[in-house]
Chains A and B, each alone.
Chain A
Amino acid sequence: MNAEPAGPRRTVVELRHEPRTAGRVHRALTTCALLAGLMAAATCARAANVQRDLVEKGRAEADILWRRGFTLGDTLLDGLLQRTLDTLTVGVPRPEGVALRVHVFRSPELNAFALPDGSIFVFAGLLSTLTDFDQVSFVLGHEAQHALGQHALKQMESANSTIALIEAASFITSLALATSGLSNAGLIDQFAQLGLGLSAAAAINGYGRALERDADLAAVQFLASAGRAPCGGIEAMQALQLHEEHEPGRLSNVFWGNHPLLTDRVRYLREASHAGECTFDSAHVADDYAPHKWPMSKLSASLWVTQHESGKALRLANDYGRLFPEDAGMLTTIGDALAESARPETLALAVTAYEHARILAPDDRAPLRGLALVAEKRGDSTACVRYLERYLEGDAPVRDRRQFRRKLEAFRARFGAPALIDSTGAGAAAADSTASSRSPDPRKED
């Protein structure tokens, strides 16, 4: 995330304090005023094309995300979400070039975004957190309004005007202070620039928050016209609140927050939707949504593991595991999350998870990979070799096979271990017995 505040870019002009500079200042200011006028005219002339450019950029960005594999491409889920979105926005006029298309974004975060061309991306993490289609509909309606309301254009125009104004103010302030002859002009200028920067951030983010509120309120309308439960929006916000690590302060949100505070969003959504008691209950998942929610939980947990966020992966896995304790895939993910640790007791838990997965799905080789890595981490080369042999048995197209084959060869070359891979599966039995007896590391014998 870019933490740099949106503000004026500093213009450094070194000056000598001489009386004759007054005339030069006048000439410079006149030149600047003329330049600003010319630029304003040019900006107006281009305004008609900006929205089309944004649409074109949005389309290009959506293509990039697809090429880089960020979109999940689950045709069933995409189709279902698309139908939901189409129902919500039926009859709503589309700006030129905007076509609403929804995709699932391969990320465990709780987020969604829309591009100016109408491409909407709902994160797998958000879908795994919500509990019914009313909440999902609110999210889709909110994002659709960003595209339908041309929010990117509005935000850009507003930000550009603010930045241009603040830059001009920054330049004039610096110039005026530099020619003022004040002894502490530099210090005053620093404070003035800070104030201008904060003003720019507050103005730009303030407008952003207004657009978010507009999208929220439009989504309430979409829900109502589609006959969806009005609680959808409130509950979606409550779901986000549950997972928010800490709510930003009201003052800091004025300067740096581009969304209204969640407490405010819940309040105004309650007022706008005229909904009665709405309370998000993570334990109550709608029957028609459950078949879509849980695969997203499973995906999100594995994505958290790849991002080295074991704690988050385990939290998701625990919720999932309560309902599906016999899911070998999730047990392997739990093992992978635990195996990130270096603590012996956590590694022992990882082994338990992998072993449980092996019992539930004996043909699935993924737990063997994890067991091999844990054994290597523990310095138990013999067990590592035997798990690797079992994992690579029969030249199956398993994950990381090139690397593990090389690792196995290196182990054999180093310790002179005989080939244990055979077609009868004797290696597997050897692996099981070796793992339980925890053979000493051959390196230690050296």
Chain B
Amino acid sequence: MVSLNRWVRHLAAIAVMLMVGGCAASLPKTSKDFADVTQEMKVVAPMPTTFAVKEDAAFSSQEMTQLTHDIEREVDGAMGSLVRESQYKLSDFQFSDSALAADAELRTAIFEQHQAMADVFAKLARSKSSTIDIPYTASLDLIADRTGSDHLLFVTGQGTFQSTGAAVKEGVLAGVSLLMGGSPSMSDPYHTSLAAMLVDANRGKVVWYNQVSLVHDPRRPSELMITSQALTKPLLGKSKLTPDKSRDNVIIDKYHHKTTAKK
């Protein structure tokens, strides 16, 4: 019986190692011809980031859409800096509001990418291997023309942060749990997840995919930069850029100033 237990423990340990190793091996995912792609790739165009941010309040959680665009712009900025720092050239094109307003065709082209992205994510969810063969169904020609790049980097993400009320509630519940002799469990106060896929417009397929999830505050630009660096490291190489912490309260203050100004 004792030896059986030992074997069970060994097997469990091996299973955990395989799971962890398997997960580590399956990211980033690349297409079979990824080496050829990197040879051909000269200019990279990061597409406008799509990000969803939620605040976990004491009794509910709510989308914080008013923060979304600021966060997306920070991630866009980080991606731009990281591509510029890498061996690749950054596309000059800016997906600014004025550029979008002046170009209805471009907005239609951007819209078309949503269904294609949904298809890709559905296929990625089923993919266990680190080698992928996922066609990209939307047309990329117009975006490739505008950006002057055949290699488009799509970035999507989500983040959460806790409200003061939620933090107090968790603290109190943990205290009560301790008082009662139970084992308290505290969730992370915030997290940021980013996923990126590189799509080759010539091949019409996804050639690289990676995702990271870190215990970082999605409202802090320096933490978004660190998450972006971790995300793109396998594609663009290790970044030497130092995240700028001096702007960390820009988004938080903007939101809170607006709230206080209304009172």
Contact = CB atoms under 8 A, between A and B. Distances in A.
Interface string B199-232: 0011110000000000000000000000000000
A163 B176 contact: no
A39 interface: yes
A65 B83 CA distance: 27
A52 B258 CA distance: 10
Interface string A18-59: 100100110110011001000100100000110011001100
B43 to A, nearest CB: 14
B180 A24 contact: yes
Nearest to B173: A11
Given A63-B69, A69-B110, A402-B141, A24 B179 contact: yes
Interface in B222-263: 258-259, 262-263
B66 A160 contact: no
B129 interface: no
A16 interface: yes
Contact of B201 (A42, A67, A163, A403): A403
Considering residues B137, B181, B262, which has the most beta carbons from chain A within 10 angstroms of its beta carbon? B181
B111 A68 contact: yes
Contacts of B203: 403, 406
A400 B176 contact: no
Q: B interface, by DSSP: helix, strand, loop or mixed? A: helix
A248 B189 CA distance: 39
B173 A53 contact: no
A13 B141 contact: no
A57 B53 CA distance: 12
Contacts of A39: 58, 165, 169
Interface in B148-179: 150, 165, 168-169, 172-173, 175-177, 179
Contact of B50 (A15, A68, A73, A160): A68
Contact of A56 (B63, B183, B258): B258
A167 B166 CA distance: 13
B206 to A, nearest CB: 13
B187 to A, nearest CB: 11
Contacts of B177: 13-14
Interface string A399-431: 111110110000000000000000000000000
A403 B203 CA distance: 5
A28 B180 contact: yes
Nearest to A25: B180
Contacts of B145: 397
B112 interface: yes
Contact of A61 (B65, B110, B169): B65
29 contacts: A11-B173, A12-B185, A14-B183, A15-B181, A16-B181, A18-B181, A24-B180, A25-B180, A28-B179, A32-B172, A32-B176, A35-B172, A49-B259, A49-B262, A53-B259, A57-B63, A66-B107, A67-B110, A68-B110, A69-B114, A159-B60, A397-B141, A398-B141, A400-B141, A402-B140, A403-B140, A403-B203, A406-B203, A406-B204
